[in-house]
Amino acid sequence: MVESVGWMKSSRVFSWTATLLLGLVAGCGSGVRERVIPVKQETPITQVKNLLQGYAAGEPVGSEIIGFPSLRDAVVAENPAVGGILAEGLTRIEKVFRQSRRVAKISEEILAEVDAAADE
């Protein structure tokens, strides 16, 4: 029985040594590839449209409501006509943000107005 314990110890040592060597060899062969991933910046109008589309689909208004005042200013600065519609929509949503169905309906109305304004 003593002999089998010695054999088991040497087997464990061999196993750990083999695992360590395999890890070192496999890890050393691969280099790090660097690449640039372009990130598109969304315009304020696109940000608001994406929010409204989410609300229209039933997503609840979350903590992003804190940023509505600065978003309103940014969309109006980008395009006063379309920005005015979106800014007014954000103001309406702020008043009823806890009522998901009303937020969804308002969002759909505002998106329709924006699409109609874009077609003109």
Query: How confident is residue 5, by pLDDT bands cut at 50, 70 and 90?
Result: low
Query: How confident is residue 30, by pLDDT bands cut at 50, 70 and 90?
Result: low
Please give the model's pTM, rounded to 2 decimal places. 0.63
- Give per-residue pLDDT as tens, 42-78: 888 899 899 999 999 999 999 999 999 998 899 899 9
Listed residue (42, 49, 44, 117) closest to 74, CA to CA: 44
HSE-up of 12 (CA within 13 Å, CB side)? Answer: 6
What radius of gyration do the chain's Cα atoms show? 29
pLDDT at 110: 93
Contact 44, 52 (CB under 8 A): no
pLDDT at 116: 85
